[in-house]
Amino acid sequence: MSSTSPLSSTSPLLSSTSPVLHLSPLVLPLAPLLSSPLLRHLAPLLRHLAPLLLHLAPLLRHLAPLFHHLAPLVLSFAPLVLSFAPLVLSFAPLVLSFAPLELKLKDKECERLSQVRDQLEQELEELTASLFEEAHKMVREANVKQAAAEKQLKEAQGKIDVLQAEVSALKTMVLTSTPSSPNRQAHPQLLSPGTRSKGASPRHGGGHTRNKSASWALPLAPGGNLDPPSVSLQPVREDKEMDNVLYAEFLTWKDRPSLDRTSAFLGRIYREDIGPCLSFTKSELSQSVQNAVENNSLTIEPVAVSTLPVVKANAVECGGPKKCALSGLSRSCKHRIKLGDRESYYYISPSSRARITAVCNFFTYIRYIQQGLVRHDAEQMFWEVTRLRREMTVAKLGFYLTDTDQG
Radius of gyration of the chain (CA): 63
Those residues whose C-beta lies under 8 Å from the C-beta of residue 104, and which sit 6 or more positions away, are: none
Average pLDDT, the chain: 77
Percent of the chain with pLDDT over 90: 36
Q: pLDDT digits over 68-82, tens only?
A: 788 888 888 888 878
* pLDDT tens by residue, 2-60: 444 444 444 444 455 555 555 566 556 666 656 666 667 777 887 888 888 788 888 88
∠ at Cα 224 (219, 225), nearest 5°? Answer: 95
Per residue, what are the HEC states of 303-358? CCHHHCCCCCCCCEEECECCECCCCCCCCCCCEEEEECCCCEEEEECHHHHHHHHH
Tens of pLDDT, residues 301-336: 888 655 444 444 344 457 678 889 999 898 889 899
Q: State the pTM of this model.
A: 0.45
pLDDT for residue 6: 45
